[in-house]
Structures are given as C-alpha cells and as structure tokens.
Amino acid sequence: MKVLKQDRRRGSIKLLPQNLDDLWHLYNLIESGDLARAITYRREERRTDKVRPERGKKVRLKMGIRVEKVEFHEFSDRLRIHGLIEEGAMDMGSHHTLNIGPGKALEVVKEWREPHLRRIGEAVKATEKPLITLLSLDDEVALVAQMHQYGIREVAEIRSTGGGKLYDNEPTKEDYFTQILGKLRQLDPSPGLVILGPGFTREDLMRYGKEREPGLLKNAYSFGTGHGGMPGIQEALKAGLAAKLLQDTRVGMETRLVERLLGEIAKEGLYAYGQEEVRMALDSGAVNTLLVTDEMSRSRDVEELMQRSEEMRGTVTVVSTHHDAGRKLRSLGGIAALLRFPIH
C-alpha cells in the first residue's frame, strides 16, 4: 500500500493498493457512510423522443459515492464499493459501484480513528514483505498456494498422469515434477518456498528440483505432514510451519493465537469469549491479547473494547475470516481473549 496524499484536517487519505493484501486492508477500513472517490466509468443516457432514454457510451470520470456496502472478491482481484453518487456525475443520488483493483488509486473521506491509521501503517510496511509460496503434494496431486495476509489462496493444481503408480513409472514421475517446477517458475517463489506433504514424494521433488533447477529451490524448506493438498497446509500451519519463515506473516500469527485460545478453552484455562465475557475480563484488567474477527472489528461496540484493551496495555489482533483460524474464532462469537489471570 502507498499513501499518495492525506489531508487529516478534511479527513481525506488517498491510497494506492498494490496487491490483494492491500485490498483486504481497504475492505476493513471502508465503512458505511464514508465518501469514496475514484476514477470510474459510467454509461451516458441520451435523451430522445422515445419513452426510454437510449444507452450511450461509457465515459471516464472521477466520482465520489457515499458508501453503503463493501465486498471483497479475492478470486477476481477486486474490491467492490457500492453506494449513492454524491460527486462527479449528472445523476446524483443514483447507485454506482466502484471497482478497485491493485494499481487503482482510491481516496477515502471519513472520521479516521486510531485503529484505521494503525492498519494503514501495517499495510504500508507489509508492502515490503515477500509472500510465501506453499507446495503441498503427494504422489498423485500437487497443490500450489500462496500465503496472503487475508489467508491462503489456491493458485494451481497439478495431477500426475500415472494413476498413482508414480514410483513404478519414471517417465511419468519426471513429467509430474517438470510440470510442478514449471508452475513454480511462473510464480517466482524466491521470497520463500515451503514444500510439504506425506511420504517420499516431497523429498524426491526436492532432490529432482535441486539437480535440474537449483536456483528455483535454493531457499526451499521441506516440511512433513500427514496429508497433501489444503488439509496438509492447514496441518502445517497449526504445527508452526517453520517459524523462521512464518513468524512475520499475519496468517501464521493468527493461526497460532487462535490455536492457543482453543487450547486454553480445552483445559479450562486463561480465556474469555463472547462480548459480555470479554467485557468482564477487560473490567478486571485480565486481558493480555484480544482476538477479533475482521467482521466484528467493524462494530463500534467491539471497536470500543479494542481501544480499551490497548489503553490497558493489551495487544489486539484482527483475525481474517478468509482462513480456517478466523472461521473458528467466528464460531466463538467473533471476539475472544487470552488472559493474564483467570476470571471464571
């Protein structure tokens, strides 16, 4: 994320999202009632003597809309902002949708509060951090995924043509590995690559890749799991998945915190969940780490609890519901806390 311009007196900040992570940050920043300005296209209507006006060509213009709803579409690389036209068009008061993708500037006018500004700061810093590519495979299927701040995104699936007889058919094995390496080459996993899965296929690929394309797998890390595919990735995340690679990535941190919370709940330890119980823990000064889903963080009541936690020197982590840990936290009411001392 880049901050292109800001006028704090008028409550205006112009931002340039550069990747999907930035769109996810914007999704959590923009609220109903905000004013959003961006370059967009709108079709002209030509007045004629007909009952209905004719549809004209689309024209490019800068438009401001009063936000009613925001949708995050990670698989189409788009943030959709719906609202009523307030600036820049003849048909004021009509509905319009701004489609924001990486590389498209957006100006937001709102009451900027501390959590919002902190999130922008995180997004700006995160721009410099590399993504991690995950390759989860067995002898039949290889899943390539990328770790983003909003969660895990599947990129490609490669199937062996050997019908499961990988080790009895060397040409098939070589073809399978060649396809995998070709896909990794397209993605350029140099910032970080984790190869995981059960059995010997993972190790065979590591050896094959280092012989054929040593530069591609130079920084690859091998991690054994009991499953391939997405279950293997989730298994590895819960196990820590090479802390030296993931300690700075948001989804790894969120997963570890939620798993720690679930562990405390299982042993009737230091935890609280649900708004009322968390509020009681805050009243007691017991909250060490507050966990809130991205959905709940938009609530003013929950934002007040987040602010109280920070004022009492607790840490606050917003957990994305676009990955498994966030969905588990959602099932607990969307808000929970790890405590300094018991309140039950």
- Same domain for 264 and 232, yes or no, is no
- All residue ranges of the chain with pLDDT < 70 are 44-56, 74-76, 128-131, 149-150, 162-171, 241-249
CA dist., res. 278 & res. 271, Å (int): 9
**Burial degree of 98 (CB within 10 A; 0-12, 13-18, 19+):** buried
pLDDT at 59: 86
Q: Clarify whether residues 206 and 241 are in a common domain.
A: yes
pLDDT of residue 89: 82
What is the CATH number for 183? 3.30.420.60
Range of the domain at 241: 132-246
Question: What per-residue confidence (pLDDT) applies to 230?
Answer: 92
> Is 292 within a domain?
yes
At 213, give phi and psi (nearest 5°).
Answer: -140, 75
192, 227, 246 - which closes a domain: 246
Provide the pLDDT for residue 299: 83
Q: How far apart are CA 25 and CA 87, in angstroms?
A: 25
Give yes or no: residues 8 and 121 share one domain: yes
* Identity at 335, one-letter amino acid code: I
**Interatomic CA distance for residues 194 and 211, integer angstroms:** 18
Whether residues 138 and 218 fall in one domain: yes
| 3-state percent breakdown (helix, strand, coil) of the chain, nearest 5 | 35, 35, 30
Does one domain contain both 176 and 62?
A: no
Q: What is the pLDDT of residue 128?
A: 63
Domain identity same for 296 and 202: no
- Tens digit of each residue's pLDDT (9 = 90 or more) over 1-17: 999 999 989 999 999 99
Domain boundary pick from 84, 105, 126: 126
CATH of the domain at 26: 2.30.30.870
Total domains, the chain:
3
Q: pTM score, two decimals?
A: 0.65
Cβ atoms of 17 and 106 closer than 8 Å: yes
Do 58 and 86 lie in a common domain?
Answer: yes
Compute the distance between CA of residue 239 and CA of residue 255 in angstroms, rounded to an integer.
10
Question: Per the domain annotation, does 344 fall within a domain?
Answer: no
Task: Supply the mean pLDDT for the chain.
Answer: 87
